[in-house]
Amino acid sequence: MRTGLFVLAAAGLLATGSVAACGGDSGSDSGSSGSSSAGKVGVILPDTKTSARWATADARFLKEVFENAGVEADIQNAQGDKTQFQTIAEGMISSGVKVLMIVNLDSGTGKAVLNQARNAGIYTIDYDRLTLNGGADYYVSFDNVKVGELQGQGLVDCLTAKNYTKPVVAELNGAPTDNNATLFKQGYDSVLAPKYARGTFDKGPDQSVPDWDNAQAGTIFEQMLTLNKNIKGVLAANDGLGNAAIAVLKKNKLNGQVPVTGQDATVQGLQNILAGDQCMTVYKAIKKESDAAAELAIALAKGQQPTTATGTVTDPQSGEDVPSVLLTPVSITKDNVKDVIADGFVTPEELCTGEFAKACTDAGIS
Ligand code: BGC
């Protein structure tokens, strides 16, 4: 972290909050609209297909916080394309952003962008995914090992409830290029490994899904099931992968009999839970995550020393400690789907459509 670069802003400078917002109409991409109080922030999100969150939650929440703070923000999505990711970053850097926040598509391309930003004197934030050996100034995410532990425990609970003897468990892991997927796996394997060791569960196929590609997940799981008809539980690393597995199970009339896990509390995942086809999901309060990241970015854009990144995460490749904010994930089953609604993350209108209306009422959602 380059604390030396922080400007000890004068009181007047700190108090201003709306200058940049006034310039919003003139196009967020070009120039810094003459704001003297805060620099511009660039945000690059990864895609819109690997999880609904990137399309429906993060951008919306981030935009809201920046607007309320009167800080100009350019929020773009790389649509899963590494070249586009790089192009967007170069555009933001040359447009003079003061802070760059990224969700990398892999650590290699993420690191290249972070290096370019650093060379241009721009502060950097890893949002949700740590860029290995990337040297970002800050990192904001959830306790991702904990996410995995909740998934592992959720599957154990569902399988125990089914009373299966030595059920075969298949693992559909996230992208091998996403450090989060490594952490999720670390978490669920820590719960499942003792079960395998004791012979309570049987370890089945275990495969990563490149780029979290939901379609590929379907193909991979179909092959798993063809080769091992006895699969009784699926540890799927997010709701998208889980839904791909559920579609295959449905084709084989096995949905509901084979518990499947998930993550992200997407509308689809919650509906699968209500239908009895998905065992659990993990709710990560994206609003809190985006608030925390935007808050850091706003302080940096205003030349202030952030005070909120009180934790640290050690980058396993560089060995460096990255100042971090890590939030706590929550396990969601049919019993507490209503908590996701109460938190305002999903609305009853989105969730309780057509065939799900009755299940919603049964789950105490109106
Ligand atoms: C995120 C998850 C998301 C996955 C696929 C992970 O890095 O933490 O929330 O489901 O990427 O986009």
Extents of the domains making up the chain: 7-142+285-327, 144-283+331-362
What does each C-alpha distance from 163 to 128, 167, 273 come to in angstroms? 37, 9, 19
Spatial contact of 330 and 338, defined as CB atoms under 8 Å apart = no
Count of CB atoms situated within 10 Å of the CB of 233:
24
Atom of ligand 1 at shortest range from CA of 46:
12
68 Cα to the center of ligand 1, angstroms: 27
The encoded tokens of residue 56 equal 């429906």
What does each C-alpha distance from 256 to 84, 116, 273, 279 come to in angstroms? 40, 49, 10, 9
Residue 322 burial (10 A CB sphere; 0-12, 13-18, 19+):
buried
The answer to whether 7-142+285-327 and 144-283+331-362 have equal CATH topology is: yes
- Ligand 1, pocket residues at CB < 6 Å: 50-51, 53, 128-129, 174, 178, 180, 212, 238, 263-264
Spatial contact of 76 and 59, defined as CB atoms under 8 Å apart = no
Nearest residue (by CA) to ligand 1, atom 6, is 180
Strand partners, 326: 141
33 Cα to the center of ligand 1, angstroms: 34
The domain made up of 144-283+331-362 has a fold known as Rossmann fold (3.40.50)
**For the chain, first and last CA: distance in Å?**
48
Q: Which residues contact 314 (CB under 8 A, 6 or more apart)?
A: 320, 321, 322
Mean pLDDT for back-to-back runs of 10 residues, the chain (366 residues): 40 32 34 60 98 97 98 98 98 98 98 98 98 98 98 98 97 98 98 97 98 98 98 98 98 98 98 98 98 98 96 98 98 97 97 96 93
For helices 82-94 and 107-119, the axis angle rounded to 10 degrees is 10
CA 286/CA 344 separation, integer angstroms: 11
Q: Which residues contact 186 (CB under 8 A, 6 or more apart)?
A: 145, 148
pLDDT at 173: 99
The domain made up of 7-142+285-327 has a fold known as Rossmann fold (3.40.50)
CA 174/CA 237 separation, integer angstroms: 6
pLDDT tens sequence across 110-141: 999 999 999 999 999 999 999 999 999 999 99
198 Cα to the center of ligand 1, angstroms: 31
164 Cα to the center of ligand 1, angstroms: 30
Q: What DSSP line would sit under 34-80, residue for residue?
A: T-SS---EEEEE--SSS-HHHHHTHHHHHHHHHHHHT--EEEEE-TT
Count of residues making up the chain: 366
In 3D space, the residue among 90, 43, 34, 33 whose CA is nearest the CA of residue 66 turns out to be 43
